[in-house]
Amino acid sequence: MKSKLMVTNSAEHPLLVVIEPMAEDYILVPGESLSFVAQEIGEDFYFSMVLRSAEEMLVYVEGSVERVVAYDSEGNVVEYGHNRHLNPNYPKFP
């Protein structure tokens, strides 16, 4: 079984989406959408979301799940760290 959650950034600034507890981060630019597909889920699975600010959303993966895969609007797999360079708070190493 699978479960899908689509997130669209309708704001005028980047949106940080973090998948927990895996700590996988994705930054969506204005107008961008990603689908997060939980694969190999159990009957107890669900997504829960916390909007921490206008720029940050936490998506919790609750219950039994094998993995979560992100896809762009064209169906391409998107790796975590997507657009990470746009996050001014992300540590930059010399």
Identify whether 90 is part of a domain. no
Question: For residues 27 and 14, is the Cβ–Cβ distance under 8 A?
Answer: yes
Identify whether 25 is part of a domain. yes
pLDDT at 92: 58
pLDDT at 82: 93
Q: Pairing relation of β-strands 56-62 and 15-20?
A: parallel
Identify whether 53 is part of a domain. yes
Identify whether 56 is part of a domain. yes
| Domain region containing 56 | 2-85
Identify whether 17 is part of a domain. yes
Identify whether 33 is part of a domain. yes
pLDDT at 87: 73
Identify whether 93 is part of a domain. no
pLDDT at 85: 85
Q: Give Cα 24 to chain centroid, integer Å.
A: 7
Query: How many domains is the chain built from?
Result: 1
Identify whether 91 is part of a domain. no
pTM for the whole structure = 0.89
pLDDT below 50 — which residues of the chain? none
Residue 60 to residue 87: CA distance in whole angstroms: 20
